[in-house]
Structure 1
């Protein structure tokens, strides 16, 4: 049976390769037993009560084409959504820029999250962002509060009785910090900055796709 990183790598479009840092993370998560039905790999044990939705998944090129509004490979081959960021169907994706460099961008579902721009410039920063412990990463308005504060606000807003206890991905955080010799902050904004206020190359590229 192939390793899950190979399952994901096999779905990447031509011209995009799985970053070594992502491969290491997926290997670690797989070894920890966090693969669910060979469909995705989670940051915590994949049970029904888990509070963190973030997960690595194979790429669906059909989803890419539908999201971009075109099946032209000149566009679809530059985008590879491999990290689910929200229950609304949002993803973080590898994006190949005009000069061939890869960054990690956010593909908001449109029906929920409308964040459609660069999240981070490199894979290690994406792993740091994931390791902070947000239940979802599709809501930039929550990037200035901690995951625990986000969870408490959500529980209070929807009035859930006996809501699942928030479970931070502490083991994954330790793996990221030790493996890549980095620190993981308490809030996403310390990595991303105010993403919704930035002049963004991914947004400019999306404009060319629409004009296309």
Structure 2
């Protein structure tokens, strides 16, 4: 296993899959990037170390510049259990998954996330083709975690928002203008 990508075993497994299938070739618009690179946070949100120290960017969320990060909102030791948040290329920041494996289920929907100030959502046309590596990704998700694709991404996003959305919004307010 390529343990050099990150301290998150689940992300290391995904990195191995990405090395085989290619960036954006298993989930539309998605690709693992430099783990912990805060340059996007600093450029678009806040330079405050109290902000950047609690966020761990790790992936491109869509083809237009949005990105995913883990949010260290407490002192848990397993980073795979941290909530996943998205920062939109045109603004907006939202909790999208309660943990990494839930994000993996969303990625299986194989659609770029749309992010704006008020909302984050996935949308896919019925006849829209899947990414070239979609089937292999779905098999990987089942083989490694016993998980299936999120058939209703809106429900997954709603559950994450209900549990952590207000807490995340309240936490970010002092740092963002």
TM-score greater than 0.5 by the shorter chain: yes
Aligned to 2:172: 206
Residue 28 of structure 1 is aligned with which of 17, 40, 52? 17
**Rg: which structure is higher?**
1
Aligned to 2:86: 106
SS at match of 1:167: coil
Separation of aligned partners in 2, 1:142 and 1:205? 22
Could you say if the C-alpha distance between residues 205 and 85 of structure 1 is closer, same or farther in structure 2, counting changes exceeding 3 Å? Answer: same
SS at match of 1:201: helix
Q: CA offsets, 1:86-105, max 9 Å, x none?
A: 222101111111x2242100
Residue 167 of structure 1 is aligned with which of 131, 134, 138? 131
Task: Measure how far apart 1:43 and its partner are.
Answer: 3.9
Computed over aligned residues only, the root mean square deviation of the Cα atoms, in angstroms, reads 2.9
- The answer as to 2:55 corresponding to 1:79 is yes
SS at match of 1:21: helix
Aligned to 2:41: 64
State whether residues 96 and 161 of structure 2, in contact with CA within 8 Å, keep that contact through their aligned partners in structure 1: no
Name structure 1 gaps, 5 residues minimum.
Answer: 10-17, 35-40, 45-50, 153-164
Q: CA offsets, 1:60-90, max 9 Å, x none?
A: 32222122232x3222121122111122210
Separation of aligned partners in 2, 1:172 and 1:56? 14
SS at match of 2:84: strand
- The answer as to 2:111 corresponding to 1:122 is no
SS at match of 2:68: strand
Task: Measure how far apart 1:33 and its partner are.
Answer: 4.4
State whether residues 43 and 172 of structure 1, in contact with CA within 8 Å, keep that contact through their aligned partners in structure 2: no
Moved more, 123-132 or 72-81: 72-81
User: Under a length normalisation based on structure 1, what TM-score does the superposition of the two structures give?
Assistant: 0.66
Name structure 2 gaps, 5 residues minimum.
Answer: 77-81
Aligned to 2:68: 92
Aligned residues: 166
Separation of aligned partners in 2, 1:200 and 1:82? 23
- The answer as to 2:150 corresponding to 1:185 is yes
SS at match of 2:155: helix
Separation of aligned partners in 2, 1:87 and 1:29? 16
